[in-house]
Structure 1
Amino acid sequence: MARGIVSPMMADASIAEQEEAPLVWSARWSLTTRILAVNILAIALLAGGFFYLDTYRTRLVDTRISEMQDQLGLLDSALEAARPDQRARLIGEFTRATESRLRFYAADGRKLSDSFDHGPPTYTLRDPDLQAWQRDAARAMDRGIDWIVGAPSYPEFTEPAQDTLAAWPEAEATLRSGEAQARFRYAPERTPLLSATRVVDLETPEVMLMTLNARDITRTVRAERFRLAIVIAMVVIASVLLSLFLARTIVRPLRRLARAAVRVRLGRAREVVVPRLPSRRDEIGTLARALSDMTQALRERIDAGEHFAADVTHELKNPIASVRSAIEGLGRVTSDAQRTQLLAIADEDVRRLDRLVTDISDASRIDAQLSRASFEPVDVGLMIESMLAARCARNSQNEDRPRIAFARPRKGTTAVMGDGHRIERAIDNVIDNAISFSPAGGLVCIAATRLGDEVHVRVDDDGPGIEPSQREAIFRRFHSERPSGEAFGKHSGLGLAIARTIIEGHGGTISARDRDDGRPGASLLITLPAREGSDPTG
């Protein structure tokens, strides 16, 4: 049953729908793809650790070069203090301790001495063509990571064919400026080959060149990259598994709901079961139950529409058949009296059809009208008082009609929120029903009171009462139980059905019961939610 009250939740939902930003770049992505994309983005941020490793390698190289320059400074001081015959031994001990190679060049560019000429090499440049494929793979990976992180491009080192000062740009720069220089190159196996220079003043000024193959830097960086790769691989596996689990718990139930919604839309199955997912207490469970309730309400509305159409067809057939019979009879009768009688029958049936069409129109539209109505404060007591005054003015000459007694409540105690015209129509239909069942000279008693958070409107009549088995049936459309002696067709059978629709559209109820005072007759009770903030005491 549609409700006329626009709740704050519905208003908030409407605002949220209006304010929700549309998806642009991800509109065509499935939920599974989006979940994976978000998790992979987090992994990509973790993979940014490779950038840190490049910075870490740069710091290692800078630290090693700084150490080499400090060591050359100490060696310079030691060589100046040593006797000439001690210098060769001092240089040998230095190169073995630092695993480096020392060359000395004269100012004219000639190589004066080389530590490798006076002892075994302290390092060896390896030929990559003679190494295993694993080393080639490691070097390829190094190049790939350097390209990804945008590492600087360093020159490749080759041993000079003519080992002179001119073969070493950093040594030439030191000779010209007198300042220490350093250079980074890649050895053939792609390990750092570092060089540092310094001017030493022995018998004559010389340029001292120190070279070092820092394989340990490459080993350290590769080890850290391997550890980071292990961590990223584990995170990727865990993230993919968690993403698939999350997608399974989200996407699968949504697909089930979508398939059920499609079956409901196609309408091929009379009873489509929408899964309610009772075990889920999250938003998807709430959605499933809301869709199930919506489907049930839609099914009930469709059934009600079908029943209503069948009832309308049944109710219209009788007066139409009567009008057709009267019109056909006009062509056969010859006396004016018979013709007048047939015309009177046709006129009465046309009036009955007019009442039926009017009531059917109201009954079919009232739900939709209530759902769009803007509710305002309504004082039910004042409304009933005005209704009865107008009714009394219309029927002042009819002394056979039942009398009406109204117990007026205090002003302001029976305020509700609603559509005043619709509530008046509902109460008027209930009063009409009570009058139609009350005998001539009978009494219809009306009372409006405030009880807690509800406003009660009670209408009692002096009629025969309503059997308990019929107390729900009287609110069905086209209910045909009428008082004895009433002319056929005076009522459409929609009055109480319209009244229930209006009252329930305001969040209230209407029911039939026995009178509280024990007297014969029926009592119809209307309850409506009282207006918040109204004074129950008046």
Structure 2
Amino acid sequence: MERPPLEVQEWRRGLGFGSLRARIFAVNIIAVLAFAIMLLYIDTVRARLLDERTAELAQEAATIASLAASLPAAERVKVLESQGFARGTRLRLYAADGALLADNWRRPGTSRFVIDNPDDRSWRRRSALFIDRALERLARIHPPTGYAEALPDRGDRWPEIAAASPAEPATRLRRAADGSLVLAAAARLPGKAASIHLTDSAEDLSQIVRAERLASFWLLIIVTIVTVTLSAYLARTIVRPLRMLAIAAHRVRLGRSREVVVPRLPERRDEIGALARALSDMSTALRGQIDATEAFAADVAHELKNPLASLRSAVDTLGQIEAPDLRARLMDVILDDVARIDRLITDISDASRLDAELSRSRFESIDAAALAAGLVEAYSVAPLPRGVSIAMAPASGPAMVEGEPARLAQVLRNLIDNALSFSPDGGKVELAAEADGALVRLSVTDQGPGVPPENRSDVFTRFYSQRPEAEDYGRHSGLGLSIVASIVVAHGGRIEVTDPPGGKGAAFIVSLPAA
């Protein structure tokens, strides 16, 4: 037989005896056990009815013994043999030596209970007797002794007669060859040596109990079928999809997320369907995070390779150059490359810690207009390069947002630095902050060359390499705008770049939910 995949084997190994399928069947089987216990209870009812019938027969034997003792000896046999009973009870009178003196079955037409021929049993009768024997063994009921008429018919052949006393009748339960139960009761005549012996069939009780048991048995069969069907349905609709999801998640955990497809179960509109779609979305996001991490690592290696190659070349050449001016130029190159690597490592470290720090940040209400005005004032303290100026557009009022102050300040600083880098000599950088209904919009506008429409989505990717023409290579790492985009998204906002109202330059617009 083909073995299941390794993932399935490992998943099953972790279940132990706590499988949800086993629990479903265990819970649903309680109803079946209840009906099975009810079948055993019916046997206890039969035992109680037999005890009541036995006590009744013993009392009847004692009553007849008292009556017989009061009759003259000449009339005693005649009176006893004339007695008839509705259930066909057999009444016999035995002498002290065991001889049969009277028997009511001798009289023609007397009602008698009948013991069937075992060979003439129908399949229903055989089935009923089989169930009787099975339940007796299950309930640990000791089977009664067999019933057979004494031949010759003498009183000393009935143990209950020997056990009876003038004060206390004796009883005995027997089973006939056809499976029916036969009750016997013996009582001694007061002041006489003779004994009364009554024999009665309990088949009517057995038929009542058997009918109840048969109805309960068929009900048990129906309940069992329904229970197993419902359990299988629940196992198929609950356990099977959960097992598929567990195996898929297990394969993702083992690092096989590339090849695994987490089922989304679109037809399920319940909690399991919601769980499947959540796991599928989570695996997709995880795959995206893995792709982003791999791409980031590749980009870092690529960006570090260029300054390191330049640095290695300058260091190798430095030992071969003796002219002071050339050595000074090579030292400048080495220092620039070291500074470039330092800036790159700093930005990479900041970008790698960004998600973790944002997840731990506690947001607070911030006036975005006041934050922007404070940064403009800070940048205006010292003269900006190339005569570029920075200003804040008048705000109509507070622009409140929920966020982390240091990170939102970092967003504005990165956008301002980017605008200053692309601004021409004597250009102007303008900030604005306005509340617009449910949003707060922050904008940073410059008068530089702008961003071509086809590249406007690329500027927010890591290590994007578009630079101003007058800027030395390596002045910026290419991570500033990607960090801005990550912070804005973490605050529930979005960022876009468009043309400014004047048509020249670029306008970076950040939209954040208003507090």
The normalised TM-score by structure 1 is 0.79
- Residues 187, 521 of structure 1: CA spacing in aligned structure 2 closer, same or farther, 3 A cutoff? same
Counterpart-to-counterpart distance in 1, 2:469 and 2:270? 58
Alpha-carbon deviation of 1:497? 0.1
Indicate how the Cα distance of structure 1 residues 322 and 170 shifts in structure 2: closer, same or farther if over 3 A, else same. Answer: farther
Q: Does residue 1:245 correspond to 2:239, yes or no?
A: no
In structure 2, relative to structure 1, the CA distance for the partners of 1:525 and 1:173 (3 Å cut) is farther
Among residues 418, 421, 434, which one is paired with 1:433 in the alignment?
418
In structure 1, the residue matched to 2:428 is 443
Superposition pairs of residues 149-298 of structure 1, within 5 angstroms: 149-151=139-141, 163-164=154-155, 167-169=158-160, 173=164, 175-177=166-168, 183-187=172-176, 189-196=178-185, 208-258=196-246, 260-261=248-249, 264=252, 270=258, 272-298=260-286
Which residue of structure 2 lines up, in the alignment, with residue 39 of structure 1? 28
Q: Conserved in 1, the CA contact under 8 Å of 2:441 and 2:510?
A: yes
Matched, 1:520 2:508: no
Between the two proteins, the alignment pairs up a number of residues equal to 500
In the superposition, relative to structure 1, how do residues 169 and 198 fare at CA in structure 2: closer, same or farther (>3 Å)? Answer: closer
**In the alignment, is the contact (CA less than 8 A) between 2:496 and 2:510 conserved in 1?**
yes
Distance 1:437 1:87 in 2: 137
CA distance in 2 between counterparts of 1:241 and 1:527 reads 56
User: After superposition, where does 1:337-376 map in structure 2 within 5 Å?
Assistant: 337-376=325-364
**1:452 to 1:76, Cα distance in 2 relative to 1, 3 A:** farther
* Matching of residues 77-156 of structure 1 within 5 Å: 91-92=80-81, 94-95=83-84, 97-104=86-93, 112-116=101-105, 122-123=112-113, 138-151=128-141
- Is 1:415 aligned with 2:401? yes
The answer to whether the 8 Å contact 2:39/2:217 transfers is no
Letter in 1 for 2:131: M
Deviations 1:124-178 (A, max 9, x none): 556869979986765453233124345576565565688447945488556125x
Instruction: Give the equivalent residue in structure 2 for 1:56.
Output: 45
The verdict on how the C-alpha distance between 1:486 and 1:145 changes in structure 2, with shifts beyond 3 A counting, is same
Larger mean CA deviation between 65-74 and 136-145 belongs to 65-74
The letter of the residue matching 1:450 is A
On the 8 A contact 1:458/1:524 being kept in 2, the answer is yes
Show the counterpart of 2:10.
Answer: none
Partner of 1:17: none
Kept in 1, the 8 Å contact 2:376–2:392? The answer is no
CA shift digits 1:9-55 (9 cap, x unpaired): xxxxxxxxxxxxxxxx9843544333333322321122222133123
- Cα distance in 1 between the residues matched to 2:513 and 2:185: 92
SS in 2 for 1:48: helix
DSSP 3-state at the match of 1:95:
coil
Letter in 2 for 1:400: G
Tell me the secondary structure at the aligned position of residue 175 of structure 1: coil
The CA deviation at 1:302 is: 2.2
Deviations 1:465-490 (A, max 9, x none): 32222221110111122223222221
Structure 1 residue 433, shift from structure 2 partner: 1.5
Partners of 2:363 and 2:504 in 1: CA distance: 37
Check conservation: 1:183, 1:196, Cα contact below 8 A. Answer: yes
Moved more, 464-473 or 129-138: 129-138
CA drift of 1:348 comes to 0.7
Question: What's the CA shift for 1:66?
Answer: 6.2
Q: Partners of 2:415 and 2:84 in 1: how far apart?
A: 114
1:400 and 2:384 aligned = no
Instruction: Identify the match of residue 465 of structure 1 among 443, 450, 453.
Output: 450
- Asked whether the 8 Å contact 1:465–1:514 carries over to 2, the reply is yes
Q: CA deviation at 1:73?
A: 8.5
- 2:293 alignment counterpart: 305
Aligned to 2:3: none
Instruction: Let me know the Cα RMSD of the aligned residues.
Output: 3.9
Contact 2:386–2:424 (CA<8 Å) still a contact in 1? no
Provide closer, same or farther for how the CA distance between residues 426 and 167 of structure 1 changes in structure 2, counting only shifts above 3 A: same
2-structure distance, mates of 1:381, 1:245: 61
CA deviation vs aligned residue, 1:278-307 (integer Å, no higher than 9, x gap)? 111122322222222122222222222232
Kindly state the Cα deviation for residue 525 of structure 1 after the two structures are TM-superposed.
1.8
Residue type of the alignment partner of 1:478: F
Matches of 1:78 and 1:65 in 2, distance apart?
A: 20
- Partner Cα distance (1:213, 1:155) in 2: 14
- Partner SS for 1:217: helix
Q: Secondary structure at the match of 2:467?
A: coil
Q: Considering Cα pairs closer than 8 Å and 6+ residues apart, tell me whether 1 or 2 has the greater RCO.
A: 1
> Could you tell me the percent identity over the aligned residues?
41
Cα distance in structure 2, aligned partners of 1:146 and 1:75: 34
TM-score normalised per structure 2: 0.82
Letter in structure 1 aligned against 2:133: R
Query: Does 476-485 or 236-245 show the bigger shift?
Result: 236-245
Paired with 1:210 and 1:502, the residues of 2 have a C-alpha distance of 101
Distance 2:446 2:325 in 1: 41
CA displacement at 1:349 relative to structure 2: 1.1
Greater Cα offset, 321-330 or 168-177: 168-177
